[in-house]
Amino acid sequence: MAAAAAATNGGFDAIVVGGGIMGSCAAYAAASSSASRGGGARVLLLERFDLLHHRGSSHGESRGIRATYPQARYPPMVRLAARLWGDAEAEAGYRVLTPTPHLDMGPRADPALRAAIENGGAAEVVGASDDSAASWPWSAVFRLPEGWTAASSELGGVIKATKAVAMFQSLAAKNGAVLRDRTEVIDIAKQVGAWASKLVKSVAGVDLPVQPLHTLICYWKARPGREHELTPESGFPTFASYGDTCIYSTPSMEFPGLIKVCAHGGAPCDPDRRDWCAGGDALADPVARWIDELMPGHVDTAGGPVIRQSCMYSMTPDEDFIIDFVGGEFGKDVVVGAGFSGHGFKMGPAVGRILTEMAMDGEAKTAAEAGVELGYFRIGRFEGNPEGNRAENKEYTVPQTLVEKPFVVPVRNPLLVPVSKPGVPIRD
């Protein structure tokens, strides 16, 4: 009802397109920022499917948060997000983030792992000597291959994904935003699509190079007697492994007795015509082999994962986000956030705040104060340079995703936050 009234009575000052974690956080940031300035700005969140649907990237039970990134540009954004997660939880009155330690492991000399340890302020818990390998925390669970190390950090945890998206949507509504799913989004989307392709092309001279990947979340059965050991209550960490295959995990929570262990990657897909079976064994088999080698006796891999859930990544060639003004004739009125490359969820509240400040104030003050360097996320980095920031990362190798072909598909799901004055008229 509120949506209809607001729409027919004129228009909106800020429109957020896309109700995943980024759009929901942006809608909340825009609405709460307006409310804290005495209100007045009308904020609209548009979602093409049902709110909390399962066809994008933000649904499901869990996402990990960590500050250990090989790229130094992410830890400041993660720390900003960690603060904003806490603020939002306080306003909502319930928790979506369960803190846990985080563990990174991999070949001791791996440049990406070394950079992640340094950038994230992690403490190496396995040294070069055999003694330390026998006595480190969780040494009863993990058997590290020779030459590997492990590092623990305090900033870790598990975010309840769908619950978190719902929290930000509720908070946005509570602060006065109008949320609309299914209805009329296609009409708006056509406009957005035209803006995106025309304006991005005119500003950056390139299409946004975002490749959707169909990926798989795998839950595996803990061996009898081991269930409790793998829970946050027992202090079990989220973890990432930097071996040949990039493996990540969250502790046993949502399905008691099961632990989520997945390969970071997937098969290129068309988001509107997905083969929901694609990439199943190609993604599950390397995980089973990894579990058998590194967590022997703790997790049962015979018969494969007990639960498989589909999800989608939006990959950029350098796996860095796209956060920028669209520019051109829209100047600083329209911003785009896209290509979160399978690691954006933890930073959702920071990205939402940044996009909102860019769209409403023309600059992201909060990002600057938090030391977040937005230059890395510009659209223009791909101009004449299809690999974007990847060339800058030659000191180390960014963990590779299991992709089968180069990134060439233009973006289909941009998040746009248009702001115009006076309000943007919305047709019903």
Ligand X SMILES: Cc1cc2nc3c(=O)[nH]c(=O)nc-3n(C[C@H](O)[C@H](O)[C@H](O)COP(=O)(O)OP(=O)(O)OC[C@H]3O[C@@H](n4cnc5c(N)ncnc54)[C@H](O)[C@@H]3O)c2cc1C
Which residues contact ligand X (rule: CB under 6 A)? Answer: 17-23, 46-49, 56-58, 63-64, 185, 189, 192, 215, 217, 311-313, 340, 342-346, 413, 415
Nearer to ligand X, 133 or 210 (CB): 210
Nearer to ligand X, 342 or 349 (CB): 342
> d(Cα 350, Cα 352) in Å, to the nearest integer?
5
Supply the minimum distance, in Å, between the C-beta of residue 119 and ligand X. 16
Give which of 383, 88, 334, 110 is closest to 244, Cα–Cα: 110
Nearer to ligand X, 54 or 108 (CB): 54
Residue nearest to ligand X (CB): 20
Nearer to ligand X, 51 or 72 (CB): 51
Nearer to ligand X, 46 or 204 (CB): 46
Distances (CA, A) of 168 to 143, 174, 178, 324: 40, 10, 13, 22
Supply the minimum distance, in Å, between the C-beta of residue 48 and ligand X. 4
> d(Cα 185, Cα 345) in Å, to the nearest integer?
23
Nearer to ligand X, 215 or 366 (CB): 215
Identify any residues that bridge with 29 across adjacent strands, giving them in sequence order. none
Supply the minimum distance, in Å, between the C-beta of residue 348 and ligand X. 7
Tokens 């623990």, located at residue: 152
Supply the minimum distance, in Å, between the C-beta of residue 133 and ligand X. 27
Nearer to ligand X, 57 or 133 (CB): 57
Supply the minimum distance, in Å, between the C-beta of residue 288 and ligand X. 17
Supply the minimum distance, in Å, between the C-beta of residue 402 and ligand X. 13
| 400 token code pair | 């590779």
Identify any residues that bridge with 152 across adjacent strands, giving them in sequence order. 103, 123
Instruction: Work out whether strand 178-181 and strand 43-47 pair parallel, antiparallel, or are unpaired.
Output: parallel
| 5 token code pair | 């009234």
Amino acid at 145: P
| 108 token code pair | 């001791």
Q: Which helix (H) or strand (E) holds 421?
A: strand 415-425
Please, are residues 388 and 381 in contact by the beta-carbon 8 Å criterion? yes
Supply the minimum distance, in Å, between the C-beta of residue 315 and ligand X. 10
